[in-house]
């Protein structure tokens, strides 16, 4: 397939490399001048998109996605697919899909989970929103770049699934970390805490699979000095998107709002920037109630 890949950063470059390794014909464009081995490079986004059957975007945010969509949609042939894999706000995802469909194109929003490691290994999970026909066209590419793709519904449904999942993840991580910090102060051994909670009703992915306490549970970023993993800054981005969506849909999300405020303090006023999102545990363990 002839594919344009726009946005070749930490995620986009390895995803494009996997498409090339699978024999796809990829033309890339990134404003930072990044190129991918084995692929062609274009001098602009519309130049990359011209003649492509699929245009994949992997960009930082919704404003940039909208600007790129304005440029590439007129350059795309009728029936081609605009496949956005960035994490952006639901409103931007829907606006871009509407614009693409009005121009006779197919559109899918398909944010990913799995991070840079999953992008390199081709084991991402895609959460997709769009029509059946658009999803069907994207599926062979999901198979190359990932291990699982869930068709969540119409346009924006992929972004909605992603931010709801990550809101739960943030709230659960904070709960797990504050409980460890309390257990410390009560003199409870961390391993015993893990042994009980991981097999009791407080169990969760954050406790059982990604334990924030070093040396406890399976290998996780906590065992590597809290090097991400999933950076607190990226969690903050997703929490902001969840609260923006909650605002626009008039949904009451008090725990999500608190999680956003805590990660904002951690990343912007404390030492959370560049650390894994589970580094909330050393944050809590240093603090008292005051």
Q: Is 234 in the site for ligand NAD (CB under 6 A)?
A: yes
Q: Looking at 6-14, 35-43, 102-110, 245-253, which segment touches ligand NAD (CB under 6 A)?
A: 6-14
Q: Is 11 in the site for ligand NAD (CB under 6 A)?
A: yes
User: What is the distance between the alpha carbons of residues 85 and 125, in angstroms, rounded to a whole number?
Assistant: 11
CA quadruple 146, 149, 155, 157: dihedral sign: negative
Residues 99 to 138 in contact with ligand NAD, rule: CB under 6 A: 112, 115-116
Q: Is 55 in the site for ligand NAD (CB under 6 A)?
A: no
* Among the listed residues 34, 120, 188, 264, the single contact to ligand NAD using CB under 6 A: 34
Nearer to ligand NAD, 68 or 82 (CB): 68
Q: Is 59 in the site for ligand NAD (CB under 6 A)?
A: yes
**Contact pattern from residue 74 through residue 103 relative to ligand NAD, giving x for each residue in contact according to CB under 6 A and a dash for the rest:** ------------xx----------------
Nearer to ligand NAD, 27 or 87 (CB): 87
Q: Is 49 in the site for ligand NAD (CB under 6 A)?
A: no
Q: Is 274 in the site for ligand NAD (CB under 6 A)?
A: no
User: What is the distance between the alpha carbons of residues 62 and 96, in angstroms, rounded to a whole number?
Assistant: 9
Q: Is 32 in the site for ligand NAD (CB under 6 A)?
A: yes
Question: Total residues contacting ligand NAD (rule CB under 6 A)?
Answer: 25
User: What is the distance between the alpha carbons of residues 18 and 34, in angstroms, rounded to a whole number?
Assistant: 16
**Burial (CB count <10 Å: 0-12, 13-18, 19+), residue 190:** middle
Q: Looking at 26-34, 101-109, 130-138, 246-254, which segment touches ligand NAD (CB under 6 A)?
A: 26-34
Write the CB contacts of 115 (distance below 8 Å, at least 6 apart in sequence).
Answer: 11, 228, 229, 230
User: What is the distance between the alpha carbons of residues 12 and 27, in angstroms, rounded to a whole number?
Assistant: 12
**Burial (CB count <10 Å: 0-12, 13-18, 19+), residue 43:** exposed
Q: Is 6 in the site for ligand NAD (CB under 6 A)?
A: yes
Active site positions, annotated: 162
Within 13 Å and on the Cβ side, how many CA atoms surround 191? Answer: 1
Q: Looking at 7-15, 183-191, 249-257, 272-280, which segment touches ligand NAD (CB under 6 A)?
A: 7-15
Q: Is 64 in the site for ligand NAD (CB under 6 A)?
A: yes
* Among the listed residues 3, 42, 52, 58, the single contact to ligand NAD using CB under 6 A: 58
Q: Is 29 in the site for ligand NAD (CB under 6 A)?
A: yes
Q: Is 142 in the site for ligand NAD (CB under 6 A)?
A: no
- Tokens representing residue 208 in the block: 């059982």
**Which helix (H) or strand (E) is 5 found in, with range?**
strand 2-6
Q: Is 246 in the site for ligand NAD (CB under 6 A)?
A: no
Judged by DSSP in three states, 198 sits in coil
CB-based contacts of 14-19 (< 8 A; 24+ apart in sequence) = 14/116, 14/119, 14/120, 15/56, 15/58, 15/85, 15/119, 15/124, 15/145, 16/56, 17/120, 18/119, 18/122, 18/144, 18/145, 19/141, 19/144, 19/145
Binding site for ligand NAD (CB under 6 A): 6-12, 29-32, 34, 45, 58-60, 64, 68, 86-87, 112, 115-116, 234, 237
């Amino acid at each position: 397939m002839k594919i344009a890949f726009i946005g070749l950063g930490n995620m986009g470059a390895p995803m494009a490399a996997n498409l090339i390794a699978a024999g796809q014909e990829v033309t890339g464009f990134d404003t930072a001048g990044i190129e991918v081995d084995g692929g062609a490079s274009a001098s602009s986004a519309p130049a990359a998109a011209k003649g492509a059957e699929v245009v994949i975007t992997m960009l930082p945010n919704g404003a940039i996605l909208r600007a790129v969509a304005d440029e590439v949609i007129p350059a795309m042939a009728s029936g081609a697919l605009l496949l956005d894999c960035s994490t952006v706000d639901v409103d931007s995802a829907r606006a871009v899909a509407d614009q693409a469909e009005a121009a006779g194109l197919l559109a899918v929003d398909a944010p990913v989970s799995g991070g840079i490691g999953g992008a390199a290994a081709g084991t991402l999970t895609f959460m997709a929103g769009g029509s059946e026909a658009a999803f069907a066209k994207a599926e062979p590419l999901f198979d190359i770049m990932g291990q699982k793709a869930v068709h969540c519904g119409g346009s924006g449904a992929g972004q909605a699934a992603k931010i709801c999942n990550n809101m739960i993840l943030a709230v659960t991580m904070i709960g797990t970390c504050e409980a460890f910090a309390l257990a410390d102060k009560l003199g409870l051994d961390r391993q015993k805490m893990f042994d009980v909670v991981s097999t009791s009703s407080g169990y969760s992915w954050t406790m059982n699979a990604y334990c924030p306490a070093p040396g406890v549970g399976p290998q996780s970023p906590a065992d590597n000095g809290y090097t991400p993993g999933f950076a607190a800054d990226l969690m903050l981005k997703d929490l902001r998107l969840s609260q923006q969506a909650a605002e626009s849909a008039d949904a009451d999300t008090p725990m999500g709002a608190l999680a956003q405020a805590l990660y904002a303090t951690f990343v912007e006023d404390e030492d959370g920037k560049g650390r894994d999102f589970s580094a909330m545990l050393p944050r809590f363990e240093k603090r008292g109630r005051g």
